[in-house]
Structure 1
Amino acid sequence: MAWSRNARQKRVFAPLHADRHQQYERKKQSLRPHRSQSYGDLVKRTLYFQLRLAADNIRDILLSPLAVVAALLGLLRPSDPSWALDRLMLFGRATDRWINLFEEDDPDLKSSRTIDDLFDHVETEIKTKLDPDTPAEESTWASSFAAFQASHQARK
């Protein structure tokens, strides 16, 4: 009897598992353009991910008490009690797209700015201040790391 129940469960849940696997594969394929080609890219993506995690945590800490305030404000307007919470949710979605925690390859994000643009700008400014003679396109940590790696391998 246990065997038939187990077989029935497999038959029922197999399509759900297959669908979940297909979703995972699609997400994995969306990350393919970001696949690191060098150690510098890997270090940069890891650093950006840590910074995005910190920004996401700060946002969550700020939104938590604001949600309570929004609910209290909603109690003051009986005609539309969820107006403040709805606005907070819209703000949360906008910041979620801006932070772009998991490098989503969303067509809507292509035209909008993300926190990575801010990181890239800061990186370029720092590198330009440190070495004003370096062209802007070469002023990334990844290119510097790749140059260091190439010079290190040349010494061997």
Structure 2
Amino acid sequence: MPLTRPPFESGRLEFGYDVRIDTLIYAMTAAGVKGAEQLRDKPAGWISIFETVGAHIAKNASNISIIDAKEEFGMLHMRVIDERLGREITDIRMWCANESAVRCMAFGTPGQIRSDHNWIMTLSDAAFDLRNEMPEEQFLSLVYPSPHR
């Protein structure tokens, strides 16, 4: 069954992100997914992408390992291995990259890849404006709100 686009978030996520990511990691680990901790400390705006992938792979959790989940050039690159088959599930990697390229890293709202100040991020118009108005550390705390950071 193919992955479907989750709804966009309604805005700022820094207050609900920790509960959602902790719940997701706990549920995935309890279901037998290896490497669920790889999802921690990632952009808050991508939480619905992680939740969608988590629900998808939970169906065959005992055979699944998340090898890597990282942000590069404003997109999510997630490597998921089906251990039974001994290979990467490339559909998940491509889906995550495509979904993250249109979803704001800070707010989960529609966004686009933008480059400025020596960085590349997927941001909404509102997040892009904040990025240019706020001190960098304050802005990054919106994107990466986790205390584990």
Range class of TM-score, shorter chain = under 0.3
Larger Rg: 1
Name the one with the larger helix percent. 1
**TM-score, normalized by length of structure 1?**
0.25
Name the one with the larger strand percent. 2
